[in-house]
């Protein structure tokens, strides 16, 4: 059989987590919290299970959840969103992004992806016979590579562009000016956008997250993807939502109904109840994670690593000085230091290796302290 993704192996997140488990290392690799979500959220899940929330949810999502989301988007981003027509609940943002790409991309269509990039983007384009056009962000600052983007737009007929903000793995965030520049260089072209904003509630210091939902120029041709996995510490529940105008939402739902149909009902019920009773939980996430970032960095700066700036997300990048490639370096670190991280070459289609690795600081303080101690000597 000829594989459609012959060059693709197991994801780096699964590999590094398996290696960490095998060697009882602290797992700062795959992005997930090592603490539980709030007990109240778990209790709502159980309440849902007991009260008949055990069958298929409506295909676009449990309506009270979509109504809560719409309320939040109005409050947070000042954007009126129709919960019935413009919000779709998906099995994680990964599925949303895959389904959007499948719905939009025909063979030969080109998608612009900025690298380093979340590892699902490229394969999702490729398996649909699309062509990813990769533009590299320059390390170590990982500024938006405007010249590269302009060249790509000049040399290719780009159908879709994927923007991740706050950015995994670099922690970079977009300013209003960045959106303006993007608009200026794309406004004469017929381009669709996926704004992957799964870390929208984790932005630090003097910054606030600016969502594509706040930029009216992008509304008619954009999908904006969010994930409860990040905001409720429930990556294992795989519940996310995508916001888009009715016409684009309809296209997503055409695929969604045949790939997933609907997302787990008690989890949607619990998320809706929790949003209703704790509207501030999401708003407090930035300060919660900012403390963790600061705590982890205060130890990491004493090690041989040089941490890079992290404005958002729950990841921090760090440069290393060893002559090994970053994947071998991470493997060695698991064996010798009992700490797992992600080699960022995994975020490049050509395995480019800038000698930088990614740590996830969504861990309790004891774990972060132990990791820092292990990395010290
Ligand atoms: N986009 C980015 C940038 C991510 O880091 C992740 C994974 N955490 C996702 C999308 C997928 O999110 P989910 O777990 O909701 O599928
Ligand atoms: N997004 C998570 C990360 O960057 C992992 C998701 C996954 O394992 N597929 O670590």
Q: Is 211 in the pocket of ligand 2 (CB under 6 A)?
A: no
Looking from the CA of residue 118, the nearest atom of ligand 1 is 3
Ligand whose nearest atom lies closest to the CA of 167: 1
Q: From CA 270, how far away is CA 47, in angstroms rounded?
A: 8
Residue 223 near residue 252 (C-beta atoms within 8 A):
yes
Question: 365: Cβ–Cβ under 8 A, 6 or more apart, which residues?
Answer: 292, 295
pLDDT attached to residue 211: 98
Ligand whose nearest atom lies closest to the CA of 362: 2
The residue assigned the tokens 């994947």 is 327
* Domain assignments of the chain as residue spans, ordered by start: 12-37+283-376, 40-277
| C-alpha closest to that of 165 among 139, 187, 137, 189 | 137
pTM of the model: 0.97
Residue 62 near residue 298 (C-beta atoms within 8 A):
no
| C-alpha closest to that of 37 among 288, 297, 351, 300 | 288
Residues near ligand 1 (Cβ within 6 A) = 31, 92-94, 118, 164, 168, 196, 198, 227, 229, 235, 240
Q: From CA 208, how far away is CA 202, in angstroms rounded?
A: 9
Test site for ligand 2: of 8, 10, 11, 13, most ligand atoms within 8 A of the Cβ: 13
User: How does pLDDT run along the chain (377 residues), one tens digit per residue?
Assistant: 888 888 888 888 899 999 999 999 999 999 999 999 999 999 999 999 999 999 999 999 999 999 999 999 999 999 999 999 999 999 999 999 999 999 999 999 999 999 999 999 999 999 999 999 999 998 899 999 999 999 999 999 999 999 999 999 999 999 999 999 999 999 999 999 999 999 999 999 999 999 999 999 999 999 999 999 999 999 999 999 999 999 999 999 999 999 999 999 999 999 999 999 999 999 999 999 999 999 999 999 999 999 999 999 999 999 998 888 888 999 999 999 999 999 999 999 999 999 999 999 999 999 999 999 999 97
Angle at 72 between CA 222 and CA 79, to 5 degrees: 45
Alpha-carbon distances, residue 35 vs 202, 210, 237, 299, 375 (angstroms): 17, 28, 14, 20, 22
Q: From CA 372, how far away is CA 338, in angstroms rounded?
A: 11
Work out the end-to-end distance of the chain between its first and last CA atoms, rounded to an integer number of angstroms: 49
DSSP classification of residue 143: B
pLDDT attached to residue 12: 87
CA 239–ligand 2 middle distance (angstroms) = 14
Q: Is 171 in the pocket of ligand 2 (CB under 6 A)?
A: no
CA 31–ligand 1 middle distance (angstroms) = 9
Residue 338 near residue 265 (C-beta atoms within 8 A):
no
Task: Please report the beta strands in the chain, taking only residues with DSSP state E, as ranges in sequence order.
Answer: 26-27, 87-90, 110-115, 131-136, 158-164, 192-196, 222-227, 240-243, 306-307, 315-319, 339-340, 342-343, 356-360
Residue 349 near residue 314 (C-beta atoms within 8 A):
no
Looking from the CA of residue 168, the nearest atom of ligand 2 is 4
Q: From CA 125, how far away is CA 86, in angstroms rounded?
A: 24
pLDDT attached to residue 4: 85
Fold type of domain 40-277: 3.40.640
Q: Is 18 in the pocket of ligand 2 (CB under 6 A)?
A: no
Which CATH architecture describes the domain 12-37+283-376?
Answer: Alpha-Beta Complex (3.90)
Test site for ligand 1: of 12, 90, 93, 232, most ligand atoms within 8 A of the Cβ: 93
Q: From CA 177, how far away is CA 183, in angstroms rounded?
A: 10
Ligand whose nearest atom lies closest to the CA of 235: 1
CA 12–ligand 2 middle distance (angstroms) = 9
CA 42–ligand 1 middle distance (angstroms) = 21
Q: Same topology for domains 12-37+283-376 and 40-277, yes or no?
A: no
Q: Is 219 in the pocket of ligand 2 (CB under 6 A)?
A: no
């Amino acid at each position: 059989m000829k594989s459609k993704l012959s060059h693709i192996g197991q994801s780096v997140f699964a590999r590094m987590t398996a290696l960490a488990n095998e060697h009882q290392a602290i797992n700062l690799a795959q992005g997930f919290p090592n603490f539980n979500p709030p007990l109240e959220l778990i209790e709502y899940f159980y309440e849902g299970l007991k009260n008949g929330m055990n069958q298929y949810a409506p295909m676009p999502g449990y309506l009270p959840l979509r109504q809560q989301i719409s309320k939040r988007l109005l409050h947070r981003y000042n954007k009126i969103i129709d919960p019935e027509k413009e919000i779709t609940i998906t099995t994680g943002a990964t599925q949303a992004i895959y389904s959007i790409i499948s719905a939009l991309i025909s063979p030969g269509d080109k998608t612009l992806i900025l690298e380093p990039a979340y590892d699902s983007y490229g394969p999702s384009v490729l398996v649909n016979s699309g062509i990813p056009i990769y533009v590299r962000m320059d390390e170590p600052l990982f500024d938006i590579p405007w010249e590269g983007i302009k060249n790509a737009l000049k040399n290719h007929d780009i159908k879709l562009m994927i923007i991740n903000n706050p950015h995994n793995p670099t922690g970079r965030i977009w300013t209003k000016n960045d959106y303006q520049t993007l608009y200026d260089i794309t406004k004469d072209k017929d381009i669709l956008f996926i704004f992957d904003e799964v870390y929208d509630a984790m932005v630090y210091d003097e910054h606030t997250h600016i969502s594509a939902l706040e930029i009216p120029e992008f509304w008619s041709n954009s999908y904006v993807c969010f994930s409860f996995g990040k905001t409720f510490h429930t990556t294992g529940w795989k519940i996310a939502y995508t916001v888009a105008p009715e016409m684009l939402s309809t296209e997503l739902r055409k695929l969604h109904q045949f790939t997933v149909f609907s997302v787990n009902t008690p989890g949607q019920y619990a998320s809706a109840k929790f949003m209703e009773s704790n509207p501030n939980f999401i708003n407090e996430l930035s300060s919660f994670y900012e403390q963790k970032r600061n705590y982890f960095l205060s130890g990491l700066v004493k090690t041989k690593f040089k941490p890079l700036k992290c404005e958002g997300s729950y990841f921090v990048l760090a440069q290393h000085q060893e002559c090994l490639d970053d994947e071998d370096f991470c493997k060695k670190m698991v064996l010798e230091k009992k700490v797992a991280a992600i080699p960022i070459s995994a975020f490049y289609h050509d395995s480019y290796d800038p000698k930088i690795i990614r740590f996830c600081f969504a861990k309790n303080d004891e774990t972060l302290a132990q990791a820092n101690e292990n990395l010290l000597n």
